[in-house]
Amino acid sequence: MTLSPIPTPTATPPDILRCAYMDIVVTDLAKSREFYVDILGLVVTEESDSEIYLRSFEEFIHHNLVLRQGPIAAVAAMAFRVRSPKDVDLAEAYYQELGCRTERRAEGFVPGIGDSVRVADPLGFPYEFFYATTHVERLAWRYDLQGPGALVRLDHFNQVTPDVGRGRKYLEDLGFRVTEDIQDKDGVTYAAWMRRKDTVHDTALTGGNGPRMHHIAFSTHEKHNIIYICDKLGALRKSDLIERGPGRHGVSNAFYLYLRDPDGHRVEIYTQDYYTGDPDNPVVTWDVHDNQRRDWWGNPVVPSWYTDASLVLDLDGNPQPVIERTESSEMAVTVGADGFSYTRKDDELAGFKLGTTL
The whole-angstrom separation of Cα 55 and Cα 257 is 19
The answer to the question of residue 12 lying near a second copy (CB under 8 A) is no
Interface with a second copy (CB under 8 A), residue from 5, 99, 264, 277: 277
Q: Map the footprint of a second copy across residues 63-102, applying CB under 8 A.
A: 81, 83-84
| Ranges within 156-215 binding a second copy (CB under 8 A) | 197-198
Residues 84 and 35: beta-carbon distance below 8 Å: no
Residue 10 interacts with a second copy (CB under 8 A): yes or no: no
3-state DSSP assignment of residue 167? helix
CB 174 within 8 A of CB 16: yes
- Tell me how many residues contact a second copy (CB under 8 A): 75
Q: Which is nearer to a second copy, 33 or 166 (CB)?
A: 33
Q: Considering only 44-52, 72-80, 277-285, 321-329, which stretch makes contact with a second copy by CB under 8 A?
A: 277-285
**Residue from 188, 299, 323, 333 in contact with a second copy (CB under 8 A):** 299
CB of 105 to a second copy, least distance (A): 20
Region 14-33 residues binding a second copy, contact defined as CB under 8 A:
17-18
| Smallest gap from residue 351 Cβ to a second copy (A) | 7
DSSP string, 136-155: ---GGG-TTT--TT---EEE
58 touches a second copy (CB under 8 A): yes
Whole-number Å distance between alpha carbons of 150 and 226: 9
Residue from 4, 49, 143, 338 touching a second copy (CB under 8 A): that is 143
Which are the contacts of 116, defined by CB distance < 8 A and separation ≥ 6? 79, 88, 104, 105, 108, 109, 128, 129, 130, 132
Distance CA 331, CA 301 (A): 9
Contact (Cβ atoms closer than 8 angstroms) between residue 90 and residue 138: no
Stretch binding a second copy (CB under 8 A), from 72-80, 179-187, 203-211, 278-286: 278-286
Q: What is the dihedral of CA 158, 160, 161, 167, to 10 degrees?
A: 10
281 binds a second copy (CB under 8 A): yes
Show contacts with a second copy in window 216-255 (CB under 8 A). 221-224, 227-228, 230-240, 242-243, 246, 248, 250, 253, 255
298 binds a second copy (CB under 8 A): yes
